[in-house]
């Protein structure tokens, strides 16, 4: 009996149309969530505008070796992210959109890598899920709202591991080894030596667990490391030569390698402008960063146990490891890579986003687990308990979150819309803000008056889409169920971006910079009182030197110790002298310094106030 060729062609056509539709939908999700968020909000104070300013000053000065911020050496970070931002500035001009181009491209490539890896290992459906999970999970979105190199580092670490893993396949070409070493080298130029630690640690434990340790000879170590050094070493050597140490000053090599790498790992870095998450919070927060897909983790564990049983029954276990099953080796590699990263930062000092490189391997495992459970449910015609249970939990969380948002909206129903959300946020002590996501604790009922549109949108999405996904699971429409949840969370992330825009006056000082810019003449002085980080967006938007009063702190400390550092560091006495002089002074004062400055300055004129931040002048 032979198959009907007409029927096969019809099935193939339907499958092809479904694949094209899925790819188009994937592109729409990415564009809606990430491309649509490239234009707003303004660059935020602290790391976002600080790093953008470093790139802008690199563009202006033409110095592509030593980073500068406010004319001061900034030696904490390697240069690759700033080179890419400079290139973007040359193409699109110096603006918010151009600043975010490298970040958005990195997210796109991270999803593309997840797609290619998953398709090679597991098939088309898992590939679509892997990219979809990357583009719609909470953590990837949150930690790309600020110009930090972690998404780029994640891409390069994952790429290096992928190239090494595929190089171990039978008949693989040697270029894959060199692509892996090149990715590691670029990772070093993106965020330092951890780009060597994570792929290297993964390779070591992979060979150890599989018993293939003799295959280290295939790694082209000599020529591969030579390529790595050829790419990564020149900048480090030049930076050391241009920022040398002296008997009385440690210079670049000590600060960058010892202080910023080893002492930071040990929690002894100076200055200590960072913190460490409590262990329980550190581990459980990953359920939030990978939400909603993290709650499908039981499917991953179920699949892992089934695969373990299958291997025990197989008499060819060593052959499986030897390379005949790329899916099996991918699963093991993802477990190892994620484990190395998570354990490393559990020991080291950490911020919430430090474990970003673990997201791709975990999401690959989740995509595989969900796809495998869906396949089993379709083949057996039985309800997928693991998937349905996870969908039920997500639906319950969505309903609960929707209720909380509705309560906030109801409580604020009689309050007028407040464009300056900073006026209605709860205040916390300044030492509470050493973690990147602490500002989420500032929300109050009154703040919902400024967040009505995104809150209504989020409440509707959280109520409808997780519940729809659960219903589709119950009816064994699993592919549609996964897409329903993904589309819902894409809309939720769009709502989150609208909310972030409402926080613009609170998290950025762009409006205050514009007010100063309208009034200040070239000969006038502009100053920030205290830590530059609290008003760093002034530097980017004013594009001029800003003096720091009692501001020799955090990232501005080490550069200030060089003999040729610009004379921008002032004391209270210097401020009082200039304030009483004939020249005009504009002084930016963050909220936490306002009481001190009000008691210090005898007379002042208020130029502008926004979200607790003030700009004073000594002249009307």
Confidence of residue 211 (pLDDT cuts 50, 70, 90): confident
**Can you give the length of the chain in residues?**
620
Give me 501's structure tokens.
């825009």
pLDDT digit string, tens, across residues 159-174: 999 999 999 998 889 9
Confidence of residue 123 (pLDDT cuts 50, 70, 90): very high
Q: What is the residue whose two structure tokens read 């997780």?
A: 466
Q: Quote the pLDDT of residue 39.
A: 94
Measured distance CA(240)–CA(148) in Å, rounded: 23
Measured distance CA(140)–CA(489) in Å, rounded: 12
Give me 264's structure tokens.
């930071």
218 and 367 part of one domain = yes
Measured distance CA(404)–CA(493) in Å, rounded: 18
Tell me the C-alpha to C-alpha distance, in Å, between residue 595 and each of 297, 425, 568.
50, 19, 23
Give me 522's structure tokens.
């070239």
* Residue 242 included in any domain: yes
Least confident of 229-233, 417-421, 493-497: 417-421
171 and 309 part of one domain = yes
Measured distance CA(98)–CA(565) in Å, rounded: 29
Measured distance CA(33)–CA(21) in Å, rounded: 18
pLDDT digit string, tens, across residues 3-19: 555 454 665 566 677 78
Q: What string of H, E and C letters represents the secondary structure of 173-235?
A: CCHHHHHHHHHHHHHHHHHCCHHHHHHHHHHHHHHHHHCCHHHHHHHCHHHHHHHHHHHHHHH
Question: Mean per-residue pLDDT for 72-85?
Answer: 95
Q: Quote the pLDDT of residue 436.
A: 47
Tell me the C-alpha to C-alpha distance, in Å, between residue 406 and each of 8, 24, 138, 190, 457.
51, 34, 21, 42, 11
Q: Quote the pLDDT of residue 171.
A: 86
* Residue 36 included in any domain: no
Instruction: Give the three-class secondary structure for 69.
Output: strand
Q: Could you tell me where the DSSP H helices lie in 261-384?
A: 264-266, 279-289, 297-313, 317-319, 326-347, 359-380
Q: Quote the pLDDT of residue 89.
A: 98
DSSP string, 93-130: -SSHHHHHHHHHHHHHHHHHHHHHHHHHHT-HHHHHHH
Contact (CB, 8 A) for 203 and 213? no
Q: Which of 194, 333, 190 is nearest to 262 (CA)?
A: 194
Q: Quote the pLDDT of residue 214.
A: 85
Q: Quote the pLDDT of residue 311.
A: 61
Q: Quote the pLDDT of residue 323.
A: 44
* Residue 47 included in any domain: no
Tell me the C-alpha to C-alpha distance, in Å, between residue 50 and each of 47, 72, 255, 592.
5, 12, 19, 20
Give me 276's structure tokens.
């460490």
* Residue 42 included in any domain: no
266 and 359 part of one domain = yes
Least confident of 8-12, 31-35, 517-521: 8-12
Q: Is the pLDDT of residue 71 over 80?
A: yes
* Residue 389 included in any domain: no
Least confident of 277-281, 551-555, 572-576: 551-555
Confidence of residue 552 (pLDDT cuts 50, 70, 90): confident
Q: Could you tell me where the DSSP H helices lie in 452-571?
A: 452-474, 478-502, 504-507, 510-519, 537-542, 557-560
Q: Which one has a higher pLDDT value, 244 or 307?
A: 244
Q: Quote the pLDDT of residue 147.
A: 95
Structurally, how many domains does the chain consist of? 4
Using the 3D structure, point to which of 349, 380, 411 is the last residue of a domain: 380
Task: For residue 186, give its domain range.
Answer: 75-380
What residues pair up with 588 in beta bridges, in sequence order?
A: 528, 615
Contact (CB, 8 A) for 91 and 98? yes
Cis check for the bond before 154: say yes or no (omega within 30 of 0): no
530 and 496 part of one domain = no
Question: Mean per-residue pLDDT for 230-257?
Answer: 92
Helical (H) or strand (E) element with 141: helix 138-142
498 and 527 part of one domain = no
- Average pLDDT over the chain reads 89
487 and 525 part of one domain = no
Question: Mean per-residue pLDDT for 540-569?
Answer: 90
Q: What is the residue whose two structure tokens read 């009154």?
A: 446
Residue 32: half-sphere exposure toward Cβ, Cα within 13 Å: 20
96 and 183 part of one domain = yes
Question: Mean per-residue pLDDT for 472-487?
Answer: 94
Q: Which of 221-235, 320-334, 419-433, 500-514 has the highest mean pLDDT?
A: 221-235
Q: Quote the pLDDT of residue 434.
A: 47
Q: Is the pLDDT of residue 430 over 50?
A: no
Tell me the C-alpha to C-alpha distance, in Å, between residue 506 and each of 368, 467, 509, 614.
41, 35, 8, 12
Using the 3D structure, point to which of 502, 533, 561 is the last residue of a domain: 502
Q: For residue 19, count other CB atoms closer than 10 A to its CB.
A: 13
pLDDT digit string, tens, across residues 448-475: 778 889 999 999 999 999 999 999 999 8
Q: Which of 286, 342, 32 is nearest to 139 (CA)?
A: 286
224 and 344 part of one domain = yes
Measured distance CA(355)–CA(137) in Å, rounded: 14
Q: Is the pLDDT of residue 189 over 90?
A: yes
Residue 225's contacts (CB-CB under 8 Å, 6 or more residues apart) are 181
Q: Quote the pLDDT of residue 426.
A: 58
435 and 525 part of one domain = no
Q: Quote the pLDDT of residue 303.
A: 74
471 and 527 part of one domain = no
* Residue 295 included in any domain: yes
Cis check for the bond before 292: say yes or no (omega within 30 of 0): yes
Encode burial over 251-283: b for 16+ CB neighbours within 10 A, e otherwise.
bbbebbeebbbebbbeeebeeeeebbbeeeebe
Q: Is the pLDDT of residue 613 over 80?
A: yes
Using the 3D structure, point to which of 502, 531, 565 is the last residue of a domain: 502
Least confident of 57-66, 228-237, 603-612: 603-612
* Residue 437 included in any domain: yes
* Residue 386 included in any domain: no
97 and 171 part of one domain = yes
Q: For residue 208, count other CB atoms closer than 10 A to its CB.
A: 11
Q: Quote the pLDDT of residue 427.
A: 59
Measured distance CA(599)–CA(33) in Å, rounded: 46
541 and 481 part of one domain = no
Q: What is the residue whose two structure tokens read 């484990």?
A: 339
Q: Quote the pLDDT of residue 313.
A: 59
Confidence of residue 140 (pLDDT cuts 50, 70, 90): very high
pLDDT digit string, tens, across residues 302-325: 877 776 666 665 545 544 445 458
Measured distance CA(145)–CA(132) in Å, rounded: 19
Q: What is the residue whose two structure tokens read 């890579």?
A: 337
Q: Which one has a higher pLDDT value, 50 or 419?
A: 50
pLDDT digit string, tens, across residues 400-410: 999 999 998 88
């Amino acid at each position: 009996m032979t198959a009907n060729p007409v029927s096969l062609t019809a099935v193939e056509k339907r499958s092809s149309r479904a694949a094209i539709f899925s790819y188009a939908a994937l592109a729409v999700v990415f564009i809606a969530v990430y491309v649509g968020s490239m234009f707003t909000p303004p660059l935020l104070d602290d790391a976002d505008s600080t790093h953008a300013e470093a790139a802008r000053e690199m563009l202006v000065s033409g110095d592509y070796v030593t980073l500068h911020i406010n004319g001061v050496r900034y030696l904490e970070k390697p240069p690759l992210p700033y080179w890419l931002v400079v290139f973007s500035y040359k193409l699109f001009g110096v603006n918010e959109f151009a600043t975010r181009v490298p970040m958005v491209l990195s997210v796109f490539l991270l999803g593309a890598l997840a797609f290619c890896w998953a398709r090679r290992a597991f098939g088309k459906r898992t590939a679509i899920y892997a990219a979809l999970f990357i583009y719609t999970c909470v953590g990837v979105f949150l930690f790309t709202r600020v110009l930090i190199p972690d998404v780029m580092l994640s891409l390069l670490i994952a790429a290096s591991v992928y190239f090494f893993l595929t190089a171990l396949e039978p008949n693989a070409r040697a270029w894959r080894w060199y692509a892996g070493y090149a990715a590691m080298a670029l990772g070093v130029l993106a965020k330092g030596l951890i780009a060597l630690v994570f792929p290297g640690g993964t390779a070591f434990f992979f060979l150890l667990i599989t018993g293939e340790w003799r295959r280290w000879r295939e790694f082209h170590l000599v020529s591969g490391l030579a390529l790595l050094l050829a790419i990564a070493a020149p900048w480090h050597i030049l930076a050391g030569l241009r920022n040398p140490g002296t008997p009385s000053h440690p210079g670049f090599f000590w600060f960058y390698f010892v202080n910023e790498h080893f002492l930071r790992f040990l929690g002894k870095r100076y200055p200590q402008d960072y913190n460490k998450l409590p262990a329980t919070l550190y581990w459980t927060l990953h359920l939030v960063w990978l939400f909603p897909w993290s709650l499908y983790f039981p499917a991953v564990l179920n699949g892992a146990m089934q695969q373990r049983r299958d291997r025990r029954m197989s008499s060819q276990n060593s052959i499986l490891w030897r390379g005949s099953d790329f899916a099996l080796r991918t699963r093991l590699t993802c477990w190892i890579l994620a484990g190395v990263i998570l354990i490393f930062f559990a020991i080291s000092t950490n911020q919430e986003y430090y474990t970003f490189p673990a997201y791709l391997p975990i999401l690959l495992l989740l995509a595989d687990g969900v796809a495998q459970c869906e396949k089993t449910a379709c083949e057996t015609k039985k309800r997928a308990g693991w998937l349905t249970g996870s969908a039920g939990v997500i639906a319950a969380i969505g309903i609960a979150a929707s209720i909380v948002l509705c309560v906030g909206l109801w409580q604020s129903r009689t309050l007028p819309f407040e464009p300056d959300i900073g006026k209605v946020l709860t205040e916390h002590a300044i030492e509470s803000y050493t973690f990147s996501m602490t500002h989420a604790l500032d929300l109050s009922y009154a703040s919902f008056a400024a967040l009505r549109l995104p809150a209504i949108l989020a409440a509707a999405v959280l109520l409808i889409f997780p519940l729809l996904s659960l219903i589709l699971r119950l009816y064994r429409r699993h592919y549609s169920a996964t897409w329903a949840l993904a589309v819902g969370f894409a809309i939720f992330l769009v709502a989150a971006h609208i909310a972030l825009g409402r926080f613009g006056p609170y998290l950025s000082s762009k409006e205050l910079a514009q007010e100063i810019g309208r009034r200040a003449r070239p000969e006038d002085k502009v100053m920030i009182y205290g830590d530059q980080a609290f008003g760093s967006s002034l530097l980017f938007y004013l594009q001029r030197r800003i003096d720091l009063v009692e501001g020799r702190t955090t990232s501005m400390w080490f550069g200030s110790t060089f003999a040729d550092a610009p004379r921008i560091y002032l004391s209270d006495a210097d401020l009082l002298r200039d304030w009483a002089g004939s020249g005009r002074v504009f002084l930016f004062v963050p909220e936490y310094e306002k009481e001190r400055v009000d008691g210090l300055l005898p007379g002042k004129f208020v130029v502008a106030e926004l979200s607790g931040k003030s700009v004073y002048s000594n002249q009307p």
